[in-house]
Structure 1
């Protein structure tokens, strides 16, 4: 059996990592604040599996498919013992890992212990890995119309501590809300700032990181739960985070974090020397930037935000915004001509209430599909009722 040259393996791994960098993880906030009773590897494996869920078309039988190549690239495993280590990680995840979820209900708190991934299947002769989520965890991963958090999978890849991952997810949850309400409004200024400078009591921090009976001295807690995790987060994610200690009497009662978002240039893991390719890529990027700029100024972008079909986080994705401007907004213009701006609003309200509110795979594709399915119905109505089209047309002219 011939072995694959090392440089070819490296190139393939770079390509896989480039694909993984485009994925997003979306979870209900109750899952973010739950107690993750697992080590870092099962937790990262769970996040990787969640990134495979296409919320436009939820997985059949709660099942997603990964490749071993994706797993090994994500965990940066390249030694000869990687298959044994993978097997051990899966077994540990299934034997030990569960989320302890606490949700506030009308008459008190509801508690759930959920094993997220009870079934994993793979072979030693095939690259595919089958992962099946438990039915109980799915409500926290799909059909999320509010109270959800979205973050980049690539931000998690370099985090090597369970506490770093837990803290990063919690910080993302708060910063997502800061970005949302900063743009959409609906909160007082001090409330919006509180999302960017979130506070957590030491008791809540201990519960969330599952160290209620560990690190009794605050100096130890600060070292392992705050300083080292934040060092990783600052080095490897899109956040820069500092914190202040708040005293109550002589003891530290809570922690206030201060989150800022880094402005990162597009970072390619490898370079191609082909000049034609570079010029074409530069032209495409310039075109995307122009289209994205127009999309940011469009009234349709605000309507999508108001209906939770687009997040402020997604607005930083130039390709996505360009796709909306190029492929979706012209369809909304067409619908506006037929039904007026109110018709567009009603359509987006319907998409939000009756269908999936976003698609991690391709938001622009999802929204285009929705309006493409709706427009023929509108046109057919106008053919059947010409007087309706006439009235709508007059109404549209005033927009």
Structure 2
């Protein structure tokens, strides 16, 4: 896996589904594999997930990775999700499986996934809106609800806040079934607050929430979050031409030059699979995030100089 970039259509980010942690991780690895082909995928494409990639990405033992891939053959094949789809006839609710075909090759410790037809455009089509993040941000999240909450939050990354979500809709998006944590104190203590704690400790954002009431009854939640200050990445073996400049690049500079690079035709051509005809604002933010990593800084360095970086 090259840079571990997860890109999803916002319809999928806001979909309702219940996947266990291992199943969410496998879906994310498959999305990364799909995007890194550079050739697009179809409903017939077979995407490989290696147990070694799972173990490395999520810092687990190889035996744990083998078991995750094996169990997915039955469990992931049965999983479904729902999302809203807009058409000329109106808005409809689509229900779909995640995968149409799945195979585990025991001798090679490889899981082979074919996404269902309704999933393919949601991870490859970027005509409208998309959300992206580095998979390392959720690598240490051990709660399935925390992973989903993180995705719901960063879909609003530009605004830094999520408007009120009605309680039943919020539960559906997190994958909490109707008969789970029905008492509000249980929902908050077992789902919401542990998820926020994990996100604040292990990801690139810090989040707070506000509960909304009608009378004494909680009817929904809204959220505010902000990016953490990027830690400077200093390696012991520095490139004398670029390493010092990389460590001096401020967050403001990353966002300034991310905006400039987003409108550079050469960058658009090289990373066309990440932008389609979608939002340049989100593309600029994605590039700014990439510039926080030294390997990407080095890649873009010649263009940064052209655009006035000193």
Q: TM-score, normalised by structure 2?
A: 0.79
Partner in structure 2 of residue 204 of structure 1: 169
- Once the two structures are TM-superposed, the CA of residue 69 in structure 1 deviates from its matched residue by 0.4
1:174 is paired with a residue whose SS is coil
> After superposition, where does 1:176-195 map in structure 2 within 5 Å?
177-178=158-159, 195=160
Q: 1:316 aligns with which of 289, 292, 301?
A: 289
Query: What per-residue deviation string (whole Å, max 9, x for no partner) do you get for residues 24-67 of structure 1?
Result: 11111111111113222212210121112227421364332232
- 1: CA distance between counterparts of 2:201 and 2:212? 25
Query: What per-residue deviation string (whole Å, max 9, x for no partner) do you get for residues 311-334 of structure 1?
Result: 31321322545534515996x9xx
Q: 2:148 aligns with which of 145, 166, 179?
A: 166
Residues 1:107 and 1:87: Cα distance change in structure 2 (over 3 Å) = same
Residues 1:260 and 1:124: Cα distance change in structure 2 (over 3 Å) = same
1:52 is paired with a residue whose SS is helix
Partner in structure 1 of residue 102 of structure 2: 120
Tell me, yes or no, if structure 1 residue 90 matches structure 2 residue 73: yes
- 2: CA distance between counterparts of 1:216 and 1:39? 19
2:196 is paired with a residue whose SS is helix
Query: What per-residue deviation string (whole Å, max 9, x for no partner) do you get for residues 286-328 of structure 1?
Result: 2456899599359843635997353313213225455345159
- Once the two structures are TM-superposed, the CA of residue 79 in structure 1 deviates from its matched residue by 6.1
Partner in structure 1 of residue 6 of structure 2: 25
Greater share of residues in strand: 2
Partner in structure 1 of residue 196 of structure 2: 230
- Once the two structures are TM-superposed, the CA of residue 118 in structure 1 deviates from its matched residue by 2.8
Tell me, yes or no, if structure 1 residue 41 matches structure 2 residue 22: yes
More deviation, 100-109/157-166? 100-109
Partner in structure 2 of residue 246 of structure 1: 212
- 2: CA distance between counterparts of 1:288 and 1:232? 29
Query: What per-residue deviation string (whole Å, max 9, x for no partner) do you get for residues 205-259 of structure 1?
Result: 1221233332221111111221011111111111101111122212112212110
Q: TM-score, normalised by structure 1?
A: 0.63
Tell me, yes or no, if structure 1 residue 303 matches structure 2 residue 263: yes
C-alpha contact 2:54 2:65 (8 A) present in aligned 1: no
Count of residues in Structure 1 that have an aligned counterpart in Structure 2: 287
Partner in structure 2 of residue 286 of structure 1: 244
Greater share of residues in helix: 1
- 2: CA distance between counterparts of 1:242 and 1:168? 12
- 2: CA distance between counterparts of 1:50 and 1:31? 12
Residues 1:90 and 1:235: Cα distance change in structure 2 (over 3 Å) = farther
Residues 1:155 and 1:291: Cα distance change in structure 2 (over 3 Å) = closer
> After superposition, where does 1:103-118 map in structure 2 within 5 Å?
103-118=85-100
Residues 1:200 and 1:116: Cα distance change in structure 2 (over 3 Å) = same
C-alpha contact 1:300 1:329 (8 A) present in aligned 2: no
Q: Is there any run of 5+ residues in structure 2 with no aligned partner, and where?
A: 265-274
Residues 1:204 and 1:139: Cα distance change in structure 2 (over 3 Å) = same
Partner in structure 2 of residue 7 of structure 1: none
Residues 1:209 and 1:264: Cα distance change in structure 2 (over 3 Å) = same
Partner in structure 2 of residue 132 of structure 1: 114
- Once the two structures are TM-superposed, the CA of residue 121 in structure 1 deviates from its matched residue by 3.1
Residues 1:298 and 1:329: Cα distance change in structure 2 (over 3 Å) = farther
1:312 is paired with a residue whose SS is helix
- Once the two structures are TM-superposed, the CA of residue 169 in structure 1 deviates from its matched residue by 0.6
C-alpha contact 1:99 1:116 (8 A) present in aligned 2: yes
Q: 1:147 aligns with which of 110, 115, 129?
A: 129
Residues 1:324 and 1:213: Cα distance change in structure 2 (over 3 Å) = same
Q: 1:78 aligns with which of 44, 61, 66?
A: 61
Structure with the greater alpha carbon radius of gyration: 1
C-alpha contact 2:137 2:202 (8 A) present in aligned 1: yes
RMSD, matched Cα:
3.3
- 1: CA distance between counterparts of 2:254 and 2:215? 54
Residues 1:327 and 1:131: Cα distance change in structure 2 (over 3 Å) = farther
